[in-house]
Amino acid sequence: MNSDTHICAVCSVHIKPGLLMCAKHWRLVPKGQQRAVLVTYGHWQRHKGSAADALLLIKTYREARDAAVASAREAVAQQATAGDLL
C-alpha cells in the first residue's frame, strides 16, 4: 500500500488522502449529503478557534460523513439486491 493513499470507506479501493470514498461510491451519495460532507470537512480543517469549537466541528463532520457512507452502502446493497432479481 502506498503511504499517499488510504482505503475507500465503502470498498477496498485505494484513494488519495482527503477523499472519503472512491468516485464510484461518491456518485451514489445524494448531492445534499455530498455538500454537507464537503462543507463540514472544510469548516473543521480551516478552524482556528477553541478546542471545544473544534470538537463540535469534528462531531458535525463525522455525522455528515457517516450519513454519506451509510447512503453509499445502502445504494450498493440495493444494486446487489436488484441484480439478484434479474
pLDDT beyond 70 at 12: yes
Look at the chain and report how many structural domains it folds into: 1
The DSSP H or E segment spanning 17 is: none
The DSSP H or E segment spanning 14 is: strand 14-15
Give the cell for residue 34: 455530498
Q: At 86, which amino acid appears?
A: L
What pLDDT does 82 receive? 77
Domain extent, residue 37, equals 21-85
- Examine residue 4 and state whether it is found in any structural domain, yes or no: no
Residues 6+ apart with CB under 8 A from 18: none
**Is 29 in contact with 68 (CB distance < 8 Å)?**
yes
Mean pLDDT of 48-67: 96
**Is 33 in contact with 39 (CB distance < 8 Å)?**
no
- Examine residue 11 and state whether it is found in any structural domain, yes or no: no
| pTM of the full structure | 0.86
- Examine residue 16 and state whether it is found in any structural domain, yes or no: no
- Examine residue 37 and state whether it is found in any structural domain, yes or no: yes
